[in-house]
A and B are shown apart, each in its own frame.
Chain A
Amino acid sequence: MDLSILALLTQDGITNGAVYALLALALVLVFAVTRVIWVPAGEFVAFGTLTLAGFQLGRPPGTISLLVGMALVAGAMEVVACVRRGEPARIPRQLAFWTGIPVVLAAAGAWLAGPELPFWAQILLTLALVTPLGTLLYRIAYQPLAEASVLVLLIVSVAVHFALTGLGLYFFGAEGSRTPPFSSLTFTVGGVNVSMQSLLVVGTSIALIGALYLFFGRTLYGKALRATALNRVGARLVGVSPNLAGALTFTLGGLLCAFSGVLIGPISTVYYDSGFLVSLKGFVGAIIGGLVSYPLAAAGALLVGLIEAFASFWASGFKEVIVFTLIIPVLLWRSLTTHHHEEDE
């Protein structure tokens, strides 16, 4: 292997790793705030790519019907909840939020889709259509179980994963899609070829991570989410509702996954069911961070990306085996080095 191949593989690894890092952050965030192991994160990645691919073909993507369907279910659940609590006066507001906003977004997507829609607008629309799926998914599948144990939530997650894969097949079809690169520019830095595409992917990921950092450090809602992750009872006692925290978290998770889907589209062909494998790599990164540390999770995801790139060069047939075998020493190491604390005051 010469230097240029080494540089190429490293570049590939970092590019993939940046995408996995977004996923790892989404998984850590969702787990910390809601204790949900978000198995269906991968479906959101696939939906991101497939939605953008749909816009590329100039026709409204299947996401639109899915969004409307979930918005109707969530709206119906809210109506029932309001009636049960004896607060029928809240129904219009809840319906506006849970059904109204998603339907407006879906309508915008359907109306704007067309061959002349610019690429950047397609990306924005993709994010606007996939992100609320996260919010709705929380409302439909997880909010009713907010008090359940981690194990129950995990089982639900697995069920949701299969349900969403099925819906993906129904709404997007079985054929795979690839989206065009954001840029086909390459330039040479110190004798190494660098593609603009990689720079954009890595840059976008870093920018998004920076924005998240500011969100959690500076804004009221960011602090409220951290507070919920740190102490659920304490958060309730200052008036942060677990439902609000959960919905907000899944919205952020949906956004991160949709972003990953958009970024990964030009790198690999995505089918309705390929999200799972992608998110599993993010998950390995998240596990390296013990599902709690954001920087470690991001670093772990980067490592996964690098190992994947080199594995695909030396033993491409065993690429996935090598990547996922990696989790075993990591888990061993973690179980030896982490101590379980009693819940402190």
Chain B
Amino acid sequence: MTDLLEVRNLHVAYGKVEAVHEVSLRVGSGRIVTVIGPNGAGKTTLLGAIMGLLPARGEIRYAGHATAATSVEQRVGRGLILVPERRELFAAMSVADNLELGAFQRVRSGDRSWRATLDEVYARFPRLRERRAQLAGTLSGGERQMLAMGRALMGKPRLLLLDEPSLGLAPLIVREIFSIIESLRASGVSILLVEQNARAALQVSDYGYVLETGELAVEGPSAELAANPRVAATYLGHATAPLSPGAGQGLSVPGRTPAGATRVRSTR
């Protein structure tokens, strides 16, 4: 089986400053893959390049095809859909209009099934149904996040790129969002998830990458990453390995992840 998304040696720069260097990653179909990393690591930049919003050097293959010549809109039409960090909702339009526009290409091509998708989205987020006539700009932060997710689902994604879906949400809603992510996979959607909430992200995902200052530091199956003491210390906020000062320095290169090579920082 080929990978749904394959990124090879990707470089993304803002002017002369390179924000992502030499990043390679893959998302198998039906999988949840997460990218975690500190603020400013280049996670949003990476998603922007995959989506086609930012020019990039390197190779991006989606569903077996090189994407270099395709526009953002064409990628959307092929089921590559991004929920951006800034949400980018249509503030002065109603919730219902935002959702309908999420299915723009489907409605345009005469695909009648978008109404069924709308019902599914309303079933997933009953709050959106209640507020369907309200302007998107007047929604609460959590409702906005639901709308951003709902709008993306309206496009019938094959690969959903999620940029910090739990940003600024109450714990209860965060749990709801993550359970939705799991149920999306069950319905066949692959997901590339960028999260600050590393614990939840590693719990829900199959595979993970750690991005630091634009470079991949570690990668591995999520369970292993969560058990990796260095990852645990830095991103999960607790020590899982005995303190062994001086052992190892920093994160290892992908593919060479010695289990014990870690320097546990004092936590809590």
Contacts and interface: CB of A to CB of B under 8 A. Distances in A.
Interface in B74-122: 76-77, 81-82, 84, 86-93, 97, 100-102, 104-105, 107-108
A239 interface: yes
B101 A231 contact: no
Q: Quick one: which of A220, A230, A237, A241 has the most chain B CB within 10 A?
A: A237
A224 interface: yes
B72 A236 contact: yes
Given A220-B108, A223-B101, A237 B81 contact: yes
Given A220-B107, A233-B53, A233-B84, A240 B90 contact: no
B192 to A, nearest CB: 15
A237 B82 contact: yes
A166 interface: no
A230 B87 CA distance: 13
B155 interface: yes
Given A227-B101, A238-B76, A238-B101, A86 B69 contact: yes
A220 B69 CA distance: 27
A116 interface: no
B71 interface: yes
Contacts of A224: 101, 104
Interface residues of A, number: 21
Contacts of B105: 239
Contact of A223 (B72, B100, B151): B100
Contact of A237 (B88, B107, B137): B88
Contacts of A239: 72-73, 76-77, 104-105, 155
Q: Quick one: which of A224, A233, A239 has the most chain B CB within 10 A?
A: A239
Interface string A215-228: 00000100110110
A128 B189 CA distance: 46
Contacts, number: 72
Contacts of B104: 220, 224, 238-240
B108 A238 contact: no
A183 to B, nearest CB: 40
B67 to A, nearest CB: 12
B49 interface: no
Contacts of B81: 237
B69 A236 contact: no
Nearest to B108: A220
Contacts of A85: 69
Interface string A226-266: 11001101111111110000000000000000000000000
Contact of A240 (B73, B92, B144): B73
Interface string B126-145: 00000000000100000010
Contacts of A345: 86-87, 89, 91, 144
B217 interface: no
A344 interface: yes
Given A85-B69, A233-B84, A240 B89 contact: no
A297 B92 CA distance: 19
Contacts of B53: 233, 236
Q: Quick one: which of B76, B87, B104 has the most chain A CB within 10 A?
A: B104
B51 interface: yes
A2 interface: no
A227 B87 contact: no
A86 B68 CA distance: 11
A239 B81 CA distance: 9
A241 B100 contact: no
B72 A237 contact: yes
Given A85-B69, A237-B72, A240-B101, A227 B90 contact: yes
Contacts of B91: 230-231, 344-345
B100 A231 contact: no
11 contacts: A220-B104, A220-B107, A220-B108, A231-B90, A233-B84, A237-B72, A238-B102, A240-B73, A240-B101, A240-B104, A345-B91
Given A220-B107, A238-B155, 4 more contacts: A85-B69, A226-B92, A227-B101, A237-B88
